[in-house]
Amino acid sequence: MKKRILIVNSGGDCPGMNAVIRAIVKRADNDTNWEVIGSINGFDGILKEPLELLLLDEKRVRGIHFEGGTILTTNNKRNPFNFPVKQEDGSIENVDLSDKLFYNIRVLNFDAIIHIGGNESHKISYKLFKKGMNIVGVPKTINNDLSVADYTFGFQTAVQVATEAVDKLVTTANSHSRVLILEVMGRDAGWIALQASIAGGADICLIPEIPFTMNKIVEKLNTRYAINKRGFAIVVVAEGAYLKGKSSEINHRGIARKIANKLRNFNFEADIRETILGHLQRGGTPTAIDRILATELGVKAFELVKEKKFGTMAIHHNTEVLSMPLKEVINKYNKVNLSHNLIKTAKGVGISFGD
Ligand code: F6P
């Protein structure tokens, strides 16, 4: 009988997810006697009635490595321990369906689950592992906020998109002598903002790791308008950035507008506009680097299943592809370390962090 792997992807999508799926299938195909199946829409596919599963053979995954999104579709609201179930009266109640998941995995003869997801997804992976599930994790996040991982796939694509946005904003900011504020994703980490600021040549970079003050922002902006009041400036702000003295309120979209309004209250003379880059950072074709990272992790994840190294995650660490216990990786976030060389580099080229 064939050994069976179930792929579940959950959380937000991320460029490179399809490349991971393809790599798992191709690696399994290169081995003997494996069958790979995908669960549609996160844990939905393996829990709903009727089941919604997709046979992932070599033919199905051919050429998907450069497609954005995920062919399995995904969901960030399908935790099997707290699963939304429609009640008879039409209301939705969250129910623990983990026993049903174990039952379905057993009767369908799955040997293991490979779970592709972000931080929150892998807390679920670990809970399932503790309950006895044969599970291996693959990290995915554009935020690059996963501890111990050098880089997560999807991140470089997001940085590329954000950098191209800065490049475009520079031309129009220059034409109108404006201050243009670009809000990028990253959740509680400033990696996308930091790298796009350096690559795009921003003047100010605001990240959650360095709380800012409006006075310092205005101080830097004034230097940009010092000659004849003409000039322009680009501010890149991470969605989780916040004012010094306030606590971090990860507001997911909106900090750029708040800063623009505050600048207007300072009677800053130049025109100010804000752009929220949003999900453009998550969509579209993964960069070559992200495809490579994703392919490496897919191959490694299959090998971890084959070696029965359950409760682990395939991860890039110190330029190697390794496995790490889920227990060690969850609950730790990879924030920008203030002694990181990129902070020194940014300061070296005159980028202000508003501190
Ligand atoms: O985790 C990736 C991420 O893109 C965050 O940076 C962002 O805040 C969040 O997902 C948005 O998620 P959604 O809009 O899909 O709920």
| Residue-wise pLDDT tens digits, 146-198 | 877 889 999 999 999 999 999 999 999 999 999 999 999 999 999 999 999 99
Give per-residue pLDDT as tens, 193-243: 999 999 999 999 999 999 999 999 999 999 998 876 778 999 999 999 999
**23-36 per-position pLDDT tens digit:** 999 999 999 899 99
Q: Which atom of ligand 1 is nearest to the CA of 142?
A: 2
Which atom of ligand 1 lies at the shortest distance from residue 118's CA? Answer: 1
Q: Is the Cβ–Cβ distance between 15 and 283 less than 8 Å? A: yes
Q: Which atom of ligand 1 is nearest to the CA of 250?
A: 8
Parallel/antiparallel/unpaired status of strands 179-184 and 272-276: parallel
Confidence of residue 353 (pLDDT cuts 50, 70, 90): very high
The predicted pLDDT at position 267 comes to 79
End-to-end Cα distance, the chain: 62
pLDDT tens for each residue of 289-313: 999 999 999 999 999 999 999 999 9
The predicted structure's pLDDT at residue 252: 58
Quote the pLDDT of residue 117: 95
Q: Residue 142 C-alpha to ligand 1 middle, in angstroms?
A: 9
pLDDT: which is higher, 250 or 350: 350
Of the two residues 76 and 46, the one the predictor is more confident about is 46
The mean predicted confidence, pLDDT, of the chain is 94
Q: How far is CA 312 from CA 8, 55, 101, 267, 300, in A?
A: 15, 24, 19, 54, 11
What is this structure's pTM?
0.95
Give yes or no for a contact between 104 and 58, defined as CB atoms under 8 angstroms apart. Answer: no
What's the average model confidence in pLDDT over 135-141?
A: 96
pLDDT for 248 = 66
pLDDT (0 to 100) of residue 125? 97
Probe target for ligand 1 pocket from 41, 282, 333, 334, with the most ligand atoms within 8 Å of CB: 282
- Signed CA dihedral, 313, 320, 337, 141: sign only: negative
Q: Whose CA is nearest to atom 10 of ligand 1?
A: 12
Query: How far apart (Å, rounded) are the C-alpha atoms in residues 108 and 182?
Result: 48
Residue nearest to atom 15 of ligand 1 (CA): 12
